[in-house]
Structure 1
Amino acid sequence: MTESFDQISREDIAARLSGSPEARAALIREGAEAGVAEAQAVLGQMLLDTGDAAAGFGWFEKAARQGHLMALNMLGRCYDLGWGVAIDKARAADCFRIAADRGLDWAMYNYGTALALGEGLTEDKAAALGWFEKAAAMGNAKAINHVGSFHEDGWVVPRDVKKAAAFYARAAEGGDFRGAFNHARMLIAAGDRAAARRWLARSAETATPAFVGKAKAWLAANGVAELADAMKEPTA
C-alpha cells in the first residue's frame, strides 16, 4: 500500500483533491492507510465530523504516535469530551501539555483552559494565563479572548477593563464568536449600540445555539433586549 501511494504523481493528487468529495475522501483514506500522518489526522477529523467518533479517535491516535501535533491535540479533545473513548480529563491534559510544549497554539489554548478550570490537573490560573498569552502571541483568537477575560475579571493580573476591551476587540477581529460578543458588551457599555449590533450579528454567525441563547439572556438581563434580534439562530 505504501509503495503504490508513494507512486501517485503530484498531478494525480492535485486532480483528485480538486475532484468530487468522494475522490478527495478516497485519497485521504489511501494516504492514511499508507501511514501518512497528515492524512491520518484529516481522516480522523472527517470521521469525527460525520459521527464516527470511535474511528476518528483511532486515526488521531495513529497520527499522534507519529508526532502529529494537531492529532495529539485532537486526541486530547476526545479524552476531554468523550468522543469515541471514555472521558479521561487527566489524559486529555497530558495530550494538551505535550502538544503545547511542542509549540501548537491550539494545544496551548486547551491546556490553558484545563489549568484554569482544574480539569485533570491542579487548578493554576497563573500558569493558565501564561499559556493563553503564548497562544495569543501566535494569533489564536480564542486565547486572545481569554486573556481579555483575565483582565476584565482581575484573575492573576489587576482588573483593567480598558485592556480587556482591547483584547476582546482583537479576538473579535480574529473571528472568535465569544470575543465578538464580549467586544459587543464593551461597545454597549461605551454607548455605541450600532457597532455592538454589528458585532452581535458577527458572533451569531459561528456561535453555538447554546451560546446564542445565553447571549440573548445576558442582553435581556442588562436592559438591551432590543439588540437580541441581531443574534439570529445559526443555521445547521
Structure 2
Amino acid sequence: MIFRINDGQGHRQARIAARNGPQALALFWRRRGRRILAESLPDPDPIVTLRRNFDMARIRPDTAELPLPEPASARPSSHPTPRRPRAPRPAREPADTGQNDLFAAPPPTAPPPRRQVTHLDAESLQLARIHYRGLQASDPADSYLYHITTEENAEAILRDGISISRRHPLLLTERGGVPYWLALLADDDDTGTVDVAVLRMKRFMIDDLIEDDPDSTRSSGSPGYFLTGNT
C-alpha cells in the first residue's frame, strides 16, 4: 500500500510503500535521518552510493520509491530449518550411600493380628469376688469390668477360669452398671433363693477380646460388653 506523507501545509513530502500508517511514518523518518546525515558528511563516491542503494533496496510494484529493506528477522524464510526433538534425559538413580532417607515416608505397616482366646484363667485376670452393697449407678468407670452371676457359677469361674465362646459370650459391664443388673436378677428370682455374686477382672487383660453390646448399654445406661475372645 502506498502512503503519502504531507507536511503541516499539506505539501507532499514523500510517498512510502508500507503495510500500515505507523510503518510508513517510521520509514519516512528513517529515510529523512539518513538524508540529514548524508548532507552533513563529505560527498561520498557516487558509484559506491549507487551500488549500496541497489544492494539494500528492492523496488516495490506500482511505485518508484526505494524503501529500506525489512529486518532479516521479519522476513519469512522459504526454507525453515526443522527443529530436532530433544531426547529425554535419562532418570538419574539416587546414589546408594548406605544411609536411610530421613525424609522418606515409612512403608505402611499391617495392623497386628487380633488375639483369639478360648480360655482365660482366674489368676491372669486378677479375678475376684467383691462386695456389691455399696455400688451406685453414679459410680465412675474404673480399671475393672464386672460380671454378675449366681454364687454357684462364680465359684466355678474362680476355680476353673473362663471358657470363652462367641455362641455363649460372657456379659460384662462397667462399675456404674452393676446395680441395674443386680436389680434385674432380683426381679427374675421369684423364690428369693438364688444367691447373687459379682466378679471383677482387669480391663487391660481383656480389652482386645471384648465387643460392644449396644442393647445392654441402652437398657442399663452404662457401657456393656461381650467377652467373645475373637473366636
Larger radius of gyration: 2
Which TM-score applies when normalising by structure 1? 0.19
Q: Relative CO higher for 1 or 2, CA cutoff 8 Å, sep ≥ 6?
A: 2
Q: Which has the higher helix share?
A: 1
Which TM-score applies when normalising by structure 2? 0.19
